[in-house]
A and B are shown apart, each in its own frame.
Chain A
């Protein structure tokens, strides 16, 4: 009886923690910042042309999605471009990383080149991209792919080096070799370590994409909306775009990456991060 009660008690606390306390722990600072923002703007301590009140931003997001400012289509355009650039960059990086990691001579040659390229902010390559692909969405897409590609190749190298030597020997002893060996043993064995690289390259993809969209006018997307907001002095529109990008980031992290990592760690039999 007592054990049952205790179990029920633990379960109740667990539930409370998951629903209430957990949520509170993750949102208190957001709420506090929102409060301060509302306070300083509504009290008139900061001029509204420098920082719009929260209400104005919410209004402009509403107008943007349901009115005429076309934030909705800009979000879709940018997000699709991001997915295209990121996925192509990731696939190319993993393919190049795994195939060249199999040949030490190639990897040793490629590494310093990549390290050098990685030291240069991707956006510095934009003038070149514009020259090659024209002043428009193609150049922006190319920059996004390149921004994804660089850190992802390095992450793939790191992941390949973490594959257990015994597992490699076991595969070879069973007669696996060449492309089959790379595809069925090395690639799946790298997946848990690749998750970190996917996150990192996603962040890099966003950065290069937004910078490129801001510079290359005539490319429909959030960058264009930001630029418009600056031109017409609609500061609430600018803040609205920032908020939207942040929200997309949270959703992707919580729904896509966290779940994917949890699934990978479960399937590969690794401990779950606390």
Chain B
């Protein structure tokens, strides 16, 4: 797994990876598709397996269905076809061993940082003393244990997103879902949070589904990157990123993988553009190179 080999690309349609066949995947997405009544098809039939502790990224331009797929994995949206299995059981709603981080931190402005982190445990009926100590541990992990009594509006955007990460991790999820969590932050804050997330993931090792339109971010963070295209959304390529961890964002191998993905993306956007007049504007939009 941790070989020094460059990323290789394999066809996307092979649902189960040979090396993972014997273990029950944390997440199994089987032939899932979604069509919205008002906007038409969002996601064509898609299959993905995520092994325990595997970090995958879904990358693609706006409208490629990556957020739709994530909402379905979270149990917040029902797929039209297919099924989503979490540790072997079909998902019917939110909750369970999943936690989610959103693009805007989506904290509760009336609660302090610590109470925000405790909220999920309150919903699940965890005793008060345990809630408190686990919340402080989670805040320490994101370096915010010095400000537990502040309110979200007293924090910077990066700090708010750290609280959101702590709020998810405190539930000890075996599957962490992240919907473009860093895309609203400035470049420097984003880089710092990339390193932090990598460290936290190495320490806690949940399986992660990370949605982004930033190719470099995907290459840096993920074990496996799924490249999606639109009209309707589908997986066009899968990349294994076999650069050992901890990784460095300046690593030239990552840049190489990013470039591969970018070229693939360009070909794909030309294909989509050629496919027909009913396909809306350039798919490249929203893609950070």
Query: B168-190 CB contact bits vs A (8 Å, 1 = yes)?
Result: 00010000010000000000000
Residue of A171, A175, A177, A268 with most chain B CB atoms under a 10 A cut-off: A175
User: From residue 159 to 182 of chain A, which have CB atoms closer than 8 A to chain B?
Assistant: 164, 166-167, 169-177, 180-181
B108 in contact (CB, < 8 A) = yes
Partner of B119, one of A164, A174, A191: A174
- The reply to whether A166 and B119 contact each other, CB–CB distance below 8 Å, is no
Partner of A175, one of B108, B110, B123, B153: B123
- The reply to whether B123 and A164 contact each other, CB–CB distance below 8 Å, is no
Partner of A169, one of B95, B102, B123, B171: B102
For B, the interface residue count at a CB cutoff of 8 angstroms equals 28
B74 in contact (CB, < 8 A) = yes
- The reply to whether B119 and A173 contact each other, CB–CB distance below 8 Å, is no
B77 → chain A, closest Cβ, in Å?
A: 10
Query: B76-112 CB contact bits vs A (8 Å, 1 = yes)?
Result: 1000000000000000001100111011101111100
Residue of A167, A173, A181 with most chain B CB atoms under a 10 A cut-off: A173
- The reply to whether B99 and A169 contact each other, CB–CB distance below 8 Å, is no
A184 → chain B, closest Cβ, in Å?
A: 7
A205 in contact (CB, < 8 A) = no
Categorize the interface residue count of chain A: 20 to 34
Query: B250-262 CB contact bits vs A (8 Å, 1 = yes)?
Result: 0000000000000
B264 → chain A, closest Cβ, in Å?
A: 31
Q: Please report the number of residue pairs spanning A and B whose Cβ atoms sit closer than 8 angstroms.
A: 67
A175 to B121, CA, bound (A): 9
User: From residue 55 to 87 of chain B, which have CB atoms closer than 8 A to chain A?
Assistant: 74-76
- The reply to whether B110 and A188 contact each other, CB–CB distance below 8 Å, is yes
A188 → chain B, closest Cβ, in Å?
A: 5
- The reply to whether B94 and A185 contact each other, CB–CB distance below 8 Å, is no
A26 in contact (CB, < 8 A) = no
A269 in contact (CB, < 8 A) = yes
A175/B109 contact (C-beta < 8 A), A166-B102, A267-B151 known: no
User: From residue 105 to 161 of chain B, which have CB atoms closer than 8 A to chain A?
Assistant: 106-110, 119-120, 122-124, 151-154
A106 to B5, CA, bound (A): 60
- The reply to whether A175 and B106 contact each other, CB–CB distance below 8 Å, is no
Instruction: In the A-B complex, list the 10 residue pairs whose CB atoms are closest, starting with the nearest.
Output: A269-B153, A174-B120, A170-B106, A176-B123, A173-B100, A175-B95, A166-B106, A175-B123, A269-B109, A268-B109
12 A-B pairs with CB atoms under 8 Å apart are A166-B102, A166-B103, A166-B106, A171-B123, A173-B74, A177-B123, A180-B122, A181-B123, A184-B122, A184-B123, A188-B110, A269-B151
